[in-house]
Homo-oligomer: A and B are copies of this chain.
């Protein structure tokens, strides 16, 4: 059986977290891993309905994702989380409870993410229809020491996936 671990993606909305995690999933499965993706939207529906986007509610949401990812990881599953998770302190809190924690910073400038605006959220945030949107009127704290950085303005999805797989091999996870 493969070892479980948490692969924790963090980055602005539209940076590419979900895209990369979905491209990575079949690669990990092909290597015999069990994989669960805890996507921000899936989690908000199934674990965190009723929570908003205040600092406190965001923290609660991320703690919950961390709790579930940890339950999966300690049972041999690769738990991929793909929520914005903007605050360093809470990411560190999860790292503290989970020894097998790999942080992937999906890096793209606010301008690039806003130009993509896949879900039309930035437009709404600029109009003030959404309050507390990360990068607009709520901070994003980039991780100072992530295990992996994917620069999605320069690297293709395939390149990002290969980079992650190489690092996981190097770290002995796969």
In the complex the two chains form, what is the Cα distance from A72 to B34 in whole Å?
Answer: 11
In the complex the two chains form, what is the Cα distance from A31 to B77 in whole Å?
Answer: 20
Instruction: State which of A5-13, A46-54, A81-89 sits at the interface with chain B.
Output: A46-54
Q: Is the CB of B60 within 8 A of A50?
A: yes
Q: Which of B36, B46, B49, B51 contacts A75 (CB 8 A)?
A: B36
Instruction: State which of A17-25, A61-69, A121-129, A165-173 sits at the interface with chain B.
Output: A61-69
Contact residues on A (Cβ < 8 Å of other chain), bracket: 10 to 19
Q: Is the CB of B76 within 8 A of A64?
A: no
Task: Name the prevailing secondary structure of the A interface residues.
Answer: mixed
In the complex the two chains form, what is the Cα distance from A87 to B22 in whole Å?
Answer: 36
Q: Is the CB of A60 within 8 A of B64?
A: no
Query: A71 at interface (Cβ–Cβ under 8 A)?
Result: yes
Query: A30 at interface (Cβ–Cβ under 8 A)?
Result: no
Query: A96 at interface (Cβ–Cβ under 8 A)?
Result: no
With A1-B1, A50-B50 as contacts: A34 and B76 at CB distance below 8 Å: yes
Closest to A64 in B: B47
Q: Is the CB of A36 within 8 A of B71?
A: yes
Instruction: Please list the residues of chain A having a beta carbon within 8 angstroms of any beta carbon in chain B.
Output: 1, 34, 36, 46-47, 49-51, 60, 63-64, 67-68, 71-72, 75-77
Extra inter-chain contacts (13) besides given A1-B1, A50-B50, CB under 8 Å: A34-B75, A34-B76, A36-B71, A36-B75, A46-B67, A47-B47, A47-B68, A49-B60, A68-B68, A71-B72, A72-B72, A75-B76, A76-B76
